[in-house]
Every structure is written in C-alpha cells, then in structure tokens.
Amino acid sequence: MGVISRTYYHLPQALARFLHCRLGIQCGHYDYRKAAHLEDYLREQFRRYTTSNLVGITPDDFEAQIQSKLGTVDASIEGYSQEGLDHQRDLSIKFHWGHNHDFGTFSLAGRMGDHHIRLVRDFCSMFPVTVDDFRDRDVLDIGVWTGGTSLVLAGLGSRVVAVEEVRKYADMVTFLSKSFGISDRLCAVPKSLYTCQGEEFYERFDIIYFPGVLYHLSDPVVALRNLYNACRVGGMILLQSQGIRHRKPYCQFEGSYVYKRGQKSDLSRGGWNWFLPSASAICRMLTEAGFTDISARYFGKTIFAFARKTSRVDVCRAGLSVRDIQ
Ligand SMILES: C[S@@+](CC[C@H](N)C(=O)[O-])C[C@H]1O[C@@H](n2cnc3c(N)ncnc32)[C@H](O)[C@@H]1O
C-alpha cells in the first residue's frame, strides 16, 4: 500500500523531471538538463571517497571504526543529563548515518539519502551559482550530520569548516576527513552555529552552506545574523529548509513534541522542528539578518533560498535574544 501511494504521489513529479531532462526543457527557474549533467558530475566526484583512497588506515580498520559507531547510544557525550533524556532528540542520542555512501568495499544507507548530491545540483540549477564557484573558496557548512555535504564541497575544491552541534557526528566527520587525507580542506567543529562567533568566524567565509537546518532552530533570526557575520562582503548564502506553502510570511510552530517517522523504542524518530517558515518568511528573515539580492523558491516539498552579503549593515536589536551580537 505504501509503495502504491508513494508511486501515485511521486510519479507525476518524477515523470515531469524525466521529460524535462530528456527534452532539455528549461522550466521556469530550474534547468533540468543542466541538473542531470551536474548530478552525474557530482556522483563521479563523490566516488573518490572509497576505501581505495584511504590514507594511513586500512580498509578493514576504517570499516570497523565506522561500524562500531552505528547504532550506539550515547547521551553523555552530548552533555545530556539522565533525567532530561526524554526531552532530547532521538537522532542526537543514538548514532544514525546521515547520507548514502558507497565506500567501495561496503556501503551505508543514510537517513538523508542522496541529499548531499542533490542539494548542490539543485542550488546550481536554480540560482546564479556554479560548481566552479566552490573551487578554492572558504565554505562554512552548517549542520552536517555525518558529513556527506562537507565531503561533496571539499571534492569541489572548497576549504570547508563543517559545524555540527552533535559531537558524535562531528567526530565522525573528523575521522572521515583524516582517513581520506583531506584534513587541510575539511575541518569539523563540534559546536552549535549560535556559538560560531569571534575572530575565527567573522567574515571568514565566501559561501555559507545552510541546507536542512533552519527549521531545527529555536531562533532563526539570530542564527542567520551569525551566519551573515561569518560571511565575507561579496559572499553568498545557500539555504534550504522544510517549510509551509503560503504566500504570506508565516511560520508554523511545531516544537519538540511533534515527531515524524520512526519509533521511540528504536530512538529513530524524526521531527524536533521548531518553526516551519514560508518562502516569504525566509526572505524576510534573510533581510533582517542583513542579506540582499534574496530569492526563495519552492522546489519539491522544500524551500530553496539564495542571498548575498553586499555590505556590512546593522541588525534591529529590539527584542533580539543576543542583544550584543555583531
Ligand atoms: C536534517 S540534518 C541536515 C544535514 C545536511 N545539512 C543536509 O542538508 O543534508 C540537520 C543537521 O543539523 C544539525 N543541527 C541542528 N541544529 C544545529 C545547530 N544549532 N548548530 C549546528 N548544527 C545543528 C543536526 O544535528 C543535524 O545533523
């Protein structure tokens, strides 16, 4: 039944994409032919992250290290107290793999599927950005899970700082970066994006890569202001978010009691979303943070946005939770 309903609902969209690719139709803001080529290219780039390219570790030890983490339950490493555990996110307590990855000698299915590949494809197919724009650039990748997106960006020639608030995942990104000999291009930081402030972050990045995180945040305006501060003048932000379809700048509040697929007994529930914004709300938040040249679009079930930092401007401080933010 699930398969039938999935096919029923997704077939028209999949069919439209297939026809667009085959016929080379550029549909509105999305260039489907370019997207198909780009996806092939990105998949090819990602193939470098296989056990045949490991540095300083054997394929067996590499696999054993990863397997030893999968499914482990560790709340203390995240600083959660035993009494408060019921309030914490399943995916932060138990180690779940993030993005699909074929390591050559073994492969892992991630909860985000091929998001890491498809996102770059989609950003480059609907906004004025190309894969070449990532070459030799400083990129701040926010909320990276086990690092699929960060590996893709490093593969495109970026110097990536990967920020992840869940320590067990950030540690895995460090392990992957070391194992593939790219520590000079991919550095994982186990902290929340709210704490990405000060000298080492201020105007240090050309691209702020921010998919899949905005709706997880309790304070999206402060978060965006932090990212604005981290962005160089002349830089850009690429944002993708779950959201609501509405013409007006509305946000739907969910909070930490709304769960999606998965089971509590298995610590596999999704959810833990704070605010689901409309595209128009995202545009307004980006404006408040200081960004300009903003565009936001619905694509599939989510919202994609692009904006630039064209100058340094102040933020409205009335009611701001971090009043002395830069
Ligand atoms: C849905 S995943 C998105 C992964 C990846 N960016 C993608 O789009 O495929 C969200 C990730 O953001 C992390 N995250 C949520 N809030 C965060 C915060 N305040 N600071 C840093 N990471 C955060 C979560 O732990 C999780 O790994």
DSSP 143-176: S-TTSHHHHHHHHTT-EEEEE-SSHHHHHHHHHH
Ligand 1, residues 93, 144, 151: which to mutate, most atoms within 8 A of Cβ? 144
As given in the structure block, the two tokens for residue 228 are 């604005």
Nearest to 236 by CA among 316, 159, 127, 148: 127
Reported pTM: 0.92
Ligand 1: distance of its center to the CA of 305 in Å? 17
Residue 51 exposure: Cα atoms within 13 Å on the Cβ side: 17
pLDDT at position 15 is 52
CA of residue 152 to ligand 1 center, whole Å: 16
Query: Distance from the CA of 205 to the center of ligand 1, in angstroms?
Result: 19
Taking only the tens of pLDDT, the chain with its 326 residues reads: 444 544 444 444 455 554 444 444 444 578 899 999 999 999 999 999 999 999 999 999 999 999 999 999 999 999 999 888 989 999 999 999 999 999 999 999 999 999 999 999 999 999 999 999 999 999 999 999 999 999 999 999 999 999 999 999 999 999 999 999 999 999 999 999 999 999 999 999 999 999 999 999 999 999 999 999 999 999 999 999 999 999 999 999 999 999 988 999 999 999 899 999 999 999 999 999 999 999 999 998 899 999 999 999 999 999 999 999 99
Is the distance from the beta carbon of residue 169 to the nearest atom of ligand 1 less than 6 Å?
Answer: yes
The reported pLDDT for the residue numbered 25 is 43
What's the pLDDT at 9? Answer: 41
5 HSE (CA, 13 A, CB side): 2
- 22 C-alpha vs ligand 1 centroid, how far in Å? 34
- Going by alpha carbons, the residue nearest to atom 13 of ligand 1 is 143
Q: Ligand 1 pocket, 90 CB below 6 A?
A: no
Give me the pLDDT at residue 5, please: 45
Ligand 1 atom with minimal separation from the 166 CA: 25
Q: Which domains does the chain have, with CATH numbers?
A: 28-308 (3.40.50.150)
Q: Is 149 in the pocket of ligand 1 (CB under 6 A)?
A: yes
- The rounded distance, in Å, linking the Cα atoms of 316 and 224 is 13
Query: What's the gap in Å between 166 CA and the centre of ligand 1?
Result: 8
Q: Which residue lies with its CA nearest to atom 20 of ligand 1?
A: 192
Q: Report the separation in Å between the CA atom of 221 and the middle of ligand 1, taken as the mean of its atom positions.
A: 16
Cβ of residue 193 lying under 6 Å from some atom of ligand 1: yes
Give the pLDDT score at 84.
Answer: 86
Question: Which pLDDT belongs to residue 261?
Answer: 86
Residue nearest atom 5 in ligand 1 by C-alpha distance:
144
